[in-house]
Chains A and B, each alone.
Chain A
Amino acid sequence: MSTGTKLTGADIVIKALRDQGVDTIFGYPGGAVLPIYDALFKQNDIKHILVRHEQAAVHAAEGYARSTGKVGVVLVTSGPGATNAVTGLVDALMDSIPLVCLTGQVPTHLIGNDAFQECDTTGITRPATKHNYLVKDVNNLARTLHEGFYVAKSGRPGPVVIDIPKDVQFAEGTYRTPGESQPKSYRPQVKPDLNRVEEAVELIANAKRPIFYVGGGVINAGPIASQLLTQFVRMTGYPCTNTLMGLGAYPASDPQFLGMLGMHGTYEANLAMHGCDVMINIGARFDDRVTGKLSEFSPGSKKIHVDIDPSNINKNVPVDIAIVGDAAYVLEDMIRIWKARQKRPDQKALKAWWDQINQWRAKDCLRYDRTDQVIKPQYALERLRDAVKGRDDVFISTEVGQHQMWAAQFLPFDKPNRWLTSGGLGTMGYGLPAAIGAQIGNPKGLCIDVAGEASILMNIQELSTAAQYRLPVKVFILNNQWMGMVRQWQELLHGSRYSHSYSEALPDFVKLAEAFGGVGLRATKVSEVDDVIRTMIETPRFVVVDMCVDPKENCFPMIPGGKAHNEMLLGPEERVSEATPEEGMVLV
């Protein structure tokens, strides 16, 4: 069909999705999107994955987007369809995941009349999205859809909502191709100011105690950015730490990698951040989980900050050199300038710095009590790690809590787009739908949701989606019968008063898996762990593993709220001081 052909709004939606290269959408039908579902029925190019709850549609689209690098697409109805999607939208906003979420709306003449399943979707989602639209004229629909995709994936990616009233879906209008519709005002800067990059390279080359601090921005800049980062870090010989969102940007198995930093990061990463003289932040945002107490954050360092979003610069931490741009472009320029100027790091200073770091490393901060009396959650993850060693097709998602931090600590990610976790919003219930989305995007991959028994119950209904599409996703529950992270904070900061954090009346997860049509496995003894993991991987259907782990285990190391990087707790033998300051207690 050529430009200018008259189509119904619903057909315009399908055609625009196709022209944007979309082959998969995640959704749930309802009254206000029936015309679009009808148009979906009449075609075969776009596959629709029917979820069991709209929140899960958004998380699945996030998992799909994060694991494939494409824009995730969601289709939900008006009212509750839209409000259920809100958690997923905020999650994608916080973690910079490109999404386009199409929501049905009541017919334009009923908007504002409190119609059945009406809500002010654009009003509700305004602070939950990067941008949103209400399309009242079918002739603006195609342009808006294309602009929505452009906004979602350009600059710092994020979710976009396009609210489409039902009468607009029925009305006939003119189609416009992507090339005919460019947004008027939104032009994010992707190429850096070279003068700043040159200054940064000088500072990097003259550093005595440098560290690369790398975040999700490098993942969002595409696999090429991770390659460039790895190349540059190796050229310098400097240590590198990744944020939770940045895991996989620098290969975990590389000797220059110090592990994750932050609240549950490694001792060496956090002390290196504290003691460095030059910090090279690429695509991270000085999140409070990373910085700890701001006034004592890396007090003696010069800071370089590379970010595609200018609003992240000087937001929490004032920096010395700010570079606005896409991480891949910036790294490319840094490498070029470094080579052209034949930079050589100060080897003597660097050796002293590595000696220091290796002393910190010798603390072995991730050690735990290796017992054969009870399955330690760390042990279960180490066995999982060993069972998938050498495979390039493993995608790990998580829920939120202790298991998430252990997964980040114990599972190595050597490549980007293999690690799917809710970092900014911390959404329990994220992991299973995200694993489903990753499995849809990577049909041959091994997609594992590392879960806790509390989180998994927040979107357990998605096992039904896994059953419908025969998705062999694995749910690896570290079942400690507690909302573990809540219990840990109550133990450390609230006098062991375990208020409502016990997972009472848990279901039998093995029977639950079977009821949904999958396979359930359980390990209660250390000797059963390897068998269960092997069977889980070999089973070509969806599997729920009930790994019954030590209910008392806490996640260390830990920087308590309101403390600085050099005030880490390494293990249960180090208690949070009785005098935890009030200001620290109020932090989440």
Chain B
Amino acid sequence: MAPQDTIRRHTISVLVDNEPGVLARVIGLFSGRGYNIESLTVAEVNEKDSLSRITVVTSGTPMIIEQIKAQLDRLVPVHKVKDLTLAGPFIEREMALVKVSGSGEKRVEALRIADIFKARVVDATITSFVFEITGTAEELNRFVELMDQLGLVDISRTGAVAMSRGAAGL
């Protein structure tokens, strides 16, 4: 276990009833108790039972992370809370749309870097591209950093989605 004062990044999966206000409860808990949110994504994953999955990336000392999980778990519409960071190896992915505008050598260079990062061109004009890129947050950061020097005009990111490796489900 990490020392008590080490701040560490954790990815937490939360299975909740898909009902009005459930996201407000989760966000209100984080803001009301002063916890940090690095990213938060939510979408329905089970239409039959009307369940949504929230992936929240947060950071804190081991005591704070334990608190966050306990506080989430006691919300009435929450079915399950799982700390993927502690539970073992897991996959984390994020998608971004990145718009770059320019001409000449910069435009060619943007395309070349996009190719290296396996980013897809999803929109093109004579003076611009929109790239779609999927990867870890670090890969996306790196891509955006490079594009910044090549005419970056707009970014939209999804925030992380994640699940554990192996056969077991949430």
Q: Which residues of A contact B (CB under 8 A)?
A: 122-123, 126-127, 130-131, 134, 151, 155-156, 183-186, 188, 309-311, 313-315, 318
B67 is an interface residue with CB less than 8 A from chain A: yes
Contact A315 B67 (CB under 8 A): yes
9 contacts between A and B (CB under 8 A): A123-B24, A126-B21, A127-B28, A185-B17, A185-B78, A188-B74, A311-B74, A313-B70, A315-B67
**The 10 residue pairs across chains A and B that have the minimum distance between CB atoms:** A311-B70, A131-B76, A185-B79, A310-B70, A186-B76, A311-B71, A127-B32, A311-B74, A127-B28, A126-B28
Query: How far is it, in angstroms, between the C-alpha of A156 and the C-alpha of B71 when the chains are bound?
Result: 13
Query: How far is it, in angstroms, between the C-alpha of A300 and the C-alpha of B154 when the chains are bound?
Result: 57
Q: How far is the CB of B126 from chain A (nearest CB, A)?
A: 45
Residues of chain A within 8 A of B28, CB atoms compared? 126-127
B25 is an interface residue with CB less than 8 A from chain A: yes
Residues of chain B within 8 A of A156, CB atoms compared? 74
Contact A134 B20 (CB under 8 A): yes
Residues of chain B within 8 A of A130, CB atoms compared? 76
Query: How far is it, in angstroms, between the C-alpha of A188 and the C-alpha of B70 when the chains are bound?
Result: 12
Residues of chain A within 8 A of B135, CB atoms compared? none
B73 is an interface residue with CB less than 8 A from chain A: yes
Q: Which residues of B contact A (CB under 8 A)?
A: 4, 17, 20-21, 24-25, 28, 32, 63, 66-67, 70-71, 73-79
Known A131-B76, A151-B76: A126·B63 in contact at CB below 8 Å: no
Residues of chain B within 8 A of A186, CB atoms compared? 76
What residue in chain A is nearest B20 (Cβ atoms)? A134
Contact B32 A314 (CB under 8 A): no
Contact A314 B76 (CB under 8 A): no
Residues of chain B within 8 A of A131, CB atoms compared? 75-76
Contact B20 A314 (CB under 8 A): no
Q: How far is the CB of B49 from chain A (nearest CB, A)?
A: 8
Q: How far is the CB of A259 from chain B (nearest CB, A)?
A: 31
Which listed residue, A127, A310, A314, touches B74 by the CB 8 Å rule? A310
Residues of chain B within 8 A of A315, CB atoms compared? 67
Residues of chain B within 8 A of A313, CB atoms compared? 70
What residue in chain A is nearest B25 (Cβ atoms)? A126
What residue in chain B is nearest A122 (Cβ atoms)? B21
Query: How far is it, in angstroms, between the C-alpha of A553 and the C-alpha of B74 when the chains are bound?
Result: 44
Query: How far is it, in angstroms, between the C-alpha of A183 and the C-alpha of B75 when the chains are bound?
Result: 13
Kindly name the residue among B20, B32, B70, B76 whose own CB sees the greatest number of chain A CB atoms within 10 A: B76
Known A151-B76, A314-B66: A126·B24 in contact at CB below 8 Å: yes
Residues of chain B within 8 A of A318, CB atoms compared? 4, 63
What residue in chain A is nearest B77 (Cβ atoms)? A185
Query: How far is it, in angstroms, between the C-alpha of A310 and the C-alpha of B78 when the chains are bound?
Result: 14
Known A313-B70, A314-B66: A184·B17 in contact at CB below 8 Å: yes
Q: How far is the CB of B151 from chain A (nearest CB, A)?
A: 42
Q: How far is the CB of A428 from chain B (nearest CB, A)?
A: 23
Residues of chain A within 8 A of B32, CB atoms compared? 127
Query: How far is it, in angstroms, between the C-alpha of A203 and the C-alpha of B32 when the chains are bound?
Result: 37
What residue in chain A is nearest B21 (Cβ atoms)? A122
Residues of chain A within 8 A of B4, CB atoms compared? 318
Contact A310 B73 (CB under 8 A): yes
Residues of chain A within 8 A of B67, CB atoms compared? 311, 314-315
What residue in chain B is nearest A309 (Cβ atoms)? B74
Residues of chain A within 8 A of B78, CB atoms compared? 185
Query: How far is it, in angstroms, between the C-alpha of A506 and the C-alpha of B67 when the chains are bound?
Result: 46
Q: How far is the CB of A157 from chain B (nearest CB, A)?
A: 13
What residue in chain A is nearest B66 (Cβ atoms)? A314
Query: How far is it, in angstroms, between the C-alpha of A345 and the C-alpha of B141 when the chains are bound?
Result: 61
Query: How far is it, in angstroms, between the C-alpha of A183 and the C-alpha of B17 when the chains are bound?
Result: 11
Q: How far is the CB of B17 from chain A (nearest CB, A)?
A: 6
Query: How far is it, in angstroms, between the C-alpha of A156 and the C-alpha of B75 when the chains are bound?
Result: 12
Which listed residue, A155, A183, A188, A314, touches B63 by the CB 8 Å rule? A314
Q: How far is the CB of A578 from chain B (nearest CB, A)?
A: 32
Query: How far is it, in angstroms, between the C-alpha of A313 and the C-alpha of B24 when the chains are bound?
Result: 25
Q: How far is the CB of A304 from chain B (nearest CB, A)?
A: 18
What residue in chain A is nearest B31 (Cβ atoms)? A127
Residues of chain A within 8 A of B79, CB atoms compared? 184-185
Query: How far is it, in angstroms, between the C-alpha of A184 and the C-alpha of B22 when the chains are bound?
Result: 14
What residue in chain A is nearest B74 (Cβ atoms)? A311
Query: How far is it, in angstroms, between the C-alpha of A151 and the C-alpha of B67 when the chains are bound?
Result: 21
